[in-house]
Amino acid sequence: MRYLVADPSEITQQASYIGLFSQVGNLLWCATAAICLFTASIFRAERLAKGKQLFFFLLFSGLFSGQLLLDDLFRLHEKSGRVLFGSENPISTTFQNLAELLVFAIYGLATLIFITKFKSLILHSNYLFLLLAIAFFGLSILVDLSGNLVPWHDAVEESFKLLGIFSWFVYFLVFCTDNLRSRSRLLSE
């Protein structure tokens, strides 16, 4: 029971800063999901076409951010090899990388569908941080799949990932804030 309720650094008797980047990333994923889902709930009642489009954009964004949070919290992409090849079977690094690549490809496909479906909304937003997020995530994945070919592999990979999560968070924070302000101005006129 202690493993379920206690802090990991307490259980392992290690410093409390262990996994700091990961924890900050999880908080940012959670904040992004919450902001998107909260803002989606406001636009849910809108009868205008833009309100419905905003609702679905933000709903998908919130749910996708929540999925990425769960993936990070429980390291689902790293466990995918065990799911595909059986938990008792030892798997090689190559198969593990292929399984991870499959998960990343699914996330990439979801992102591509997301961008295609909501292209007009994205293009009318301040999308620089969204582009940065995609670029940083891509770099993180490349470093992850490179094995230990990159010096300071873990630090570089996790730094790119954290920068990606932060950029993702900033994009949606600005997007939601801008759209809520526009809505507020329209309602007050």
**Whole-angstrom Cα distance, residue 30 to residue 35?**
9
The residue with greater pLDDT, 81 or 90, is: 90
Q: What is the pLDDT of residues 22-79, one digit of tens each?
A: 999 999 999 999 999 999 999 987 766 677 889 999 999 999 999 999 999 988 877 7
Q: What confidence score (pLDDT) does residue 47 get?
A: 64
Main-chain dihedrals φ then ψ at residue 140, nearest 5 degrees: -60, -40
Main-chain dihedrals φ then ψ at residue 55, nearest 5 degrees: -60, -50
Q: Is 183 helix (H, G, I), strand (E, B) or coil?
A: helix
Q: Model confidence at 83, in pLDDT bands (50, 70, 90)?
A: low
> How many degrees, rounded to 5, is the angle at CA 164 between CA 67 and CA 181?
80
Mention every residue, 6+ apart, whose C-beta is less than 8 A from residue 156: 143, 150
- What is the dihedral sign for C-alpha 109, 163, 145, 81? negative
Q: Model confidence at 106, in pLDDT bands (50, 70, 90)?
A: very high
Burial state string for 133-168 with b = 16 or more CB within 10 A and e = fewer than 16: bbebbebbbebbeeeeeeeeeeebbbbbbbbbbbbb
Q: What confidence score (pLDDT) does residue 40 get?
A: 95
Q: What confidence score (pLDDT) does residue 124 get?
A: 96
Mean pLDDT: which of 6-15, 94-103, 128-137, 177-186 is highest?
A: 128-137
Phi-psi sector, 173: left (phi>0), alpha (psi -120 to 50), beta: alpha
The alpha helices in 75-127, defined as continuous H runs, are 76-85, 93-117, 119-123
The residue with greater pLDDT, 103 or 33, is: 33
The residue with greater pLDDT, 47 or 154, is: 154
Q: What confidence score (pLDDT) does residue 48 get?
A: 63
| Mean pLDDT score across all residues of the chain | 90
Flag whether pLDDT at 5 surpasses 80.
yes
List, as one string, the DSSP characters of 87-98: SSS---HHHHHH
Q: What confidence score (pLDDT) does residue 79 get?
A: 74
Tokens of 44: 């849910």
Q: What confidence score (pLDDT) does residue 130 get?
A: 97
Domain boundaries of the chain, sorted by first residue:
25-188
Mean pLDDT: which of 20-24, 143-147, 148-152 is highest?
A: 20-24
pTM: 0.90
